[in-house]
Amino acid sequence: MTLAEQIALVAGATRGAGRGIAVELGAAGATVYVTGRTTRRQRSEYDRPETIEETAELVTAAGGDGIAAQVDHLVPEQVRALVERIRAEQGRLDILVNDIWGGEKLMEWNKPVWEHDLGKGLRMLRLGIETHLVTAHYALALLSEKPGGLLIEVTDGTADYNAGNYRLSPFYDLCKVAVTRMAWAHARDLAKRGCTAVAITPGWLRSEMMLEAYRVSEENWRDALKIQPHFAISETPRYVGRAVAALAADRDRHRWNGQSLSSGGLAKVYGFTDLDGSRPDAWRYMVEVQDAGKPADVTGYR
């Protein structure tokens, strides 16, 4: 698999899935612009230590060319300037990964709309939906100038799963369903230019924040099974990164246009694995084991 000479933008690459995707695109040889709000000099409202410079360095170490750019994707002028920079430096954009989020600390779990803090909920919608539209507005204009471009909208949950399951609050639910529909809509417009758009979801992600919540690290993550046995189906951010890299390298990727995809589902098609050599199929596990009330058992699911 090679993406040498491909130009990618991973919007929202400071940590989590965005970082994993950026690194795997780099491992395949791509030049990857990585954006976020947190730098070594300035932290976002998350107030976390991960930075876009670290992500860019990981991309370069993996074999690509990582370029960090501090961008708040709620500020159109900053996004426009970023795309103008990519045009000036590269002349094109081949891959756009829209992974902007930022709502974890705003979530009030299992609360109806009248109990959920309204300000936090509306901020979540801006971070999870408006950012994607602002970025698409500017970046897709460049990406679609030539046939073959690929847009990947990152969300939480497949279309089928989200259609049948309430995702914890009206605000979170709307954010994650909207991103999938966004990919479907962009696919109709991009197809006219010979380009492709899909939505993709990781499974239960062992992000920096999730590992911290369980007070474990990637090295001893299985210790968290004492608290939550179903965490056994979890995956690293690099797994969805490999899914994105496989899609980007597939010359026949337009067959997926407009579809809702998952890391586990694409692993079956393309044959990649997570870092430990397994192939977790989290969304099938969620339905057949966790949501069905069965004891945690990943046999046949990874």
Assess contact for 183 and 176: CB atoms under 8 A: no
Worst-scoring range by mean pLDDT, 36-50, 53-67, 86-100, 268-282?
36-50
Distance CA 245, CA 239 (A): 10
Site of tokens 């696919």: 187
Average predicted confidence (pLDDT) for the chain = 96
CATH number, domain 7-207+236-287: 3.40.50.720
Look at the chain and count its residues.
302
Neighbours of 12 (CB within 10 A): 29
Query: Can you give the pLDDT at residue 58?
Result: 98
pLDDT above 80 for 13: yes
pLDDT tens figures, 228-266: 999 999 999 999 999 999 999 999 999 999 999 999 999
Give me the residue spans of the domains in the chain.
Answer: 7-207+236-287
Dihedral angle sign, alpha carbons of residues 107, 152, 34, 278: positive
Assess contact for 243 and 261: CB atoms under 8 A: yes
pLDDT tens figures, 165-219: 998 899 999 999 999 999 999 999 999 999 999 999 999 999 999 999 999 999 9
- Strand extents, DSSP E, the chain: 7-11, 31-36, 65-70, 95-98, 150-154, 196-201, 260-262
